[in-house]
Chain A
Amino acid sequence: MTDVAPTHIEAGASLWRDAWRRLRKNHLAAISFFLLIAMVALVIVGPWVSRYSYETQDRELGAAPPSASHWFGTDDLGRDLFTRILYGGRISLMVGLCATAVSLGIGVIYGAVAGFAGGRIDSALMRIVDILYTLPFTIIVIILTVYLGKSIVLIFMAIGAVEWLTMARIVRGQVVALRHKEFVEAAYVMGLRRRRIVLRHLIPNALGPIIVYTTLTIPQVMLLEAVISFLGLGVQAPMSSWGVLIQDGAKVMEDNAWRLIFPSLFLSITLFSLNFLGDGLRDALDPRISKD
């Protein structure tokens, strides 16, 4: 492994450097990138600055529309929505990133191995995916709450463990299509090791769909988190998350519109940024476009 390391780093560095250069030229992607950073900074720093805690109740006030003292209004227990959104953002962003990372890690490697190995191994691995698809999610979550207790880490595991299946299928589809291409055949002929072919040639060439599906997985897991919290695994009241806040807000959208609009706004800004950043990254990383 040591003898190939230098070229590896060099090649990798130039790939990413090129990508970064192209990414900066894509204005929308650049704006999205900074918006995301700003969002992360806001949810980390914001709660310290806020006058309220996520659990400070003002029951006599109840659900009140936005005002000077409560910028985003309050909920049924008179809690400051702005503060709750910031705290909730911590949970949602953390869940979104970690669960997606788990699903990405498992899904990409699994899919690539299946697609590259082909034959019996491929069909066995893909049938396992089929089997996992059918396991009833609700029951798994219920079992997890009982046998493993409650913690945020568990949510990541539960969600990540469910979300990697489609990713694996997409990566496998790409790899199968790429496997017989000239550059892969060439790599074979050059006597490269399989591991290296998969990591250096197949996965980078499947990066497009991987990035796109990753940006799709993040919103999915953020909303799944709300479902899981509903079942009792996940955030415990009075702590909240964007998914839970939106779910609550949706129920009172006619009479307390602000309770739906503000958390949705935060979620949407994040998702739009992720989406455009993802597309920008995808375009920038595409090795074939570099000639243009």
Chain B
Amino acid sequence: MIRFILRRVLGFIPVFLIIATLVFFLIRLAPGGPFMEGERHVPPEVLEQIRESYNLNAPLPQQYAMYMWDLVRGDLGPSMQQPSRTVSQWIVLRAPVSVELGFYSLIVALIIGLSAGIIASLRPNTLTDYIPMSIAMAGICMPTFVMGPLLVLIFALKFQWLPVSGWDAPAEKILPSITLGTVYAAYIARLARGGMFEVLAQDFIRTARAKGLSETRVVLRHALRGGLQPVISFLGPAAAGLLTGSFVVEKIFIIPGLGKQFVDAAFNRDYTMLMGAVLFYAVLILIFNLIVDVAQAWLDPRVRYD
């Protein structure tokens, strides 16, 4: 297993470089650039100078070579739109917030999603199936841009229990985590129900039951392993997405996370910032998908490391 992980990690390097290359050219295909005429005219001489100072006037291959050289040395360059900090500094500043929000949301999602999904799977097509699944569905029918403001109106403005915005005091972290968590809870519940249902019908479960094992033991010790397979496949990219922040939730609750940084960079054509954000996300995706693959193999011995 160690060998498998090592090989995969080594494999990250070319993948990472491919991503950097692709995104480098892709973002330059989008119309407009980081420095262009705005709503107000900017003298062309000025624009020329700014582009010069960020080396944007050089031929594209040369720009690419210089970027990659800096990247290999671990330098992501300065942010073009928020020039007082470097891209690395921005990521270091923002990532902890997004990671924290992501963790809380993931916990909310796992608690609600797994319990709803597992309970529902035990007695399919009865009320103990329909009720938890309907609750979980709320997370899908109510997108974050509905759920967030709704929670704020109820808990912050009507009852005045919690603050409207911010990410400082613990109380400020409750509503955003719930808002973001419920969406993923719905996905987890649906996938868990399906997976569990399937496993519970299999022969080895019958055998376990026939042996007189308690239902709890059957479900927790035997069925969960296989039943959560699809949930885990889903969790890899979902977790990476959660940890790099959610633009909508960050915007609703004014949270200084990476999600907003990411989307703003795209809108501003802040090339360096956008590259940094994508590469950070790429590292997370690669790591989480590796974790998922390892977890899958661990949960199901039939899956081999190959």
Contacts and interface: CB of A to CB of B under 8 A. Distances in A.
B198 interface: yes
A192 interface: no
Contacts of B142: 264
Nearest to B147: A250
A140 B26 contact: yes
A165 B238 CA distance: 12
A16 interface: no
B146 interface: yes
Contacts of B11: 123, 127
A179 B266 CA distance: 42
Interface residues of A, number: 61
Contact of B134 (A126, A174, A213, A272): A272
Contacts of B27: 136, 139
Contact of B230 (A135, A146, A212): A212
Given A169-B237, A267-B141, A134 B19 contact: yes
Interface string B181-200: 00000110011011101100
Interface stretch (A92-100, A152-160, A196-204, A282-290): A282-290
A246 to B, nearest CB: 7
A289 B262 CA distance: 47
Interface string A204-215: 000011011101
A284 B234 CA distance: 24
A275 B146 contact: no
Contacts of A28: 125, 130
Interface in B251-306: 262-263, 266-267, 274, 277-279, 281-282, 285-286, 289, 292, 296, 300, 302-304, 306
Interface in A176-198: 176-177, 179-181
Contacts of B72: none
Contact of A177 (B133, B140, B300): B300
Interface in B133-166: 133-134, 137, 140-143, 145-146, 149-150, 153
A136 B237 contact: no
B105 interface: no
A87 B136 CA distance: 28
Nearest to B289: A130
SS class of chain B's interface: helix, strand, loop or mixed?
helix
B27 to A, nearest CB: 5
Contact of B198 (A139, A143, A180, A288): A288
Contact of B190 (A136, A138, A215, A268): A215
Given A247-B145, A253-B150, A272-B134, A213 B274 contact: no
* Best-surrounded residue of B8, B15, B190 (most CB of chain A within 10 A): B190
Nearest to B186: A216
Interface residues of B, number: 68
* Best-surrounded residue of A146, A166, A250, A288 (most CB of chain B within 10 A): A250
B247 to A, nearest CB: 9
A275 B139 CA distance: 13
Interface of A: 26, 28, 118-119, 122-123, 126-127, 130-131, 133-136, 138-140, 142-143, 146-147, 165-166, 169-170, 172-174, 176-177, 179-181, 208-209, 211-213, 215-216, 219, 223, 246-247, 250, 253-254, 260, 264, 267-268, 271-272, 275, 279, 282-283, 286, 288-289, 292
Interface of B: 8, 11, 15, 18-19, 22-23, 26-27, 29-31, 124-125, 130, 133-134, 137, 140-143, 145-146, 149-150, 153, 186-187, 190-191, 193-195, 197-198, 201-202, 226, 229-230, 232-234, 236-238, 240, 262-263, 266-267, 274, 277-279, 281-282, 285-286, 289, 292, 296, 300, 302-304, 306
